Amino acid sequence: AQKITQTQPGMFVQEKEAVTLDCTYDTSDPSYGLFWYKQPSSGEMIFLIYQGSYDQQNATEGRYSLNFQKARKSANLVISASQLGDSAMYFCAMREGIGGTGGFKTIFGAGTRLFVKA
Amino acid sequence: GAGVSQTPSNKVTEKGKYVELRCDPISGHTALYWYRQSLGQGPEFLIYFQGTGAADDSGLPNDRFFAVRPEGSVSTLKIQRTERGDSAVYLCASSPRGTAAYNEQFFGPGTRLTVL
């Protein structure tokens, strides 16, 4: 069963506007972590933001924020004030068993390609 | 400081051959991960090392794949009898702690493997 679903294969956003990249996940483990990574055309994977399942507040890192809706199993990434350099692939990922005896297997979604228009 | 390095950056081989892919993690990072990324897909977990031991190898697709990390630093992913379906980018990542509530994984640039 697909554990991470990113339904938007491609997204366009105008420079300086905000954009939301969708991610839904599936797990029965109460303790898990959600991650977003950016992969530019150069191929490197860049960590952006993390949300733990027990975190009370939505995570924020600069222009990135994670809209965490636990009951809906949703962890959307919001990028504010888009820049041309934000054009890249974005991957949502999950790790179960965070902080406990679980493993460290991180499962990635298929990704969303973001295009920022000037 | 130096990031995660992977060699070679590109590897072209023929079907049936044996290949070794090397990962040099960030100094001091105890956790090391291997992933495989096929074209248009997200990375797929292969194996996780904590120190010298493989703590989770559940992602290795079959017994043609094997990875080692004998001294707890450099790791080698070994693929025997390569098949065309093994063609992908193989990513390595390391992190400073293996048992924290979460840890950021630092990725290398990857090795692009092409099996002809």
Q: Which helix (H) or strand (E) holds B88?
A: strand B88-95
Q: Omega before B96 cis (within 30°)?
A: no
In sequence order, what are the residues at sequence separation of 6 or more whose Cβ sits closer than 8 angstroms to the Cβ of residue B13?
A: B19, B82, B113, B114, B115, B116
Q: Are B33 and B93 in contact (CB under 8 A)?
A: yes
Q: Using alpha carbons, list the distances in angstroms from residue A38 to A86, B1, B14.
A: 9, 21, 32
State the pLDDT at residue B51: 86
Mean pLDDT of chain A: 92
Split at pLDDT 50, 70, 90, the class of B101 is: low
- Two structure tokens written together for B78: 């070994």
Split at pLDDT 50, 70, 90, the class of B56 is: confident
| Higher local confidence (pLDDT), A100 or B8 | B8
Mean pLDDT of chain B: 92
* CB-CB neighbors (< 8 A) of A45 in chain B: 43, 91, 93, 105, 107
Of A43, A52, A91, Cβ closest to residue B102: A52
* CB-CB neighbors (< 8 A) of B89 in chain A: 43
**What is the tens place of the pLDDT at every residue in B1-38?**
589 999 999 999 999 999 999 999 999 888 899 999 99
Q: Cβ–Cβ contacts within 10 Å for residue B110, how many?
A: 25
Q: Tell whether the model's pLDDT for residue B100 goes beyond 60.
A: no
Per-residue DSSP letter, A118: -
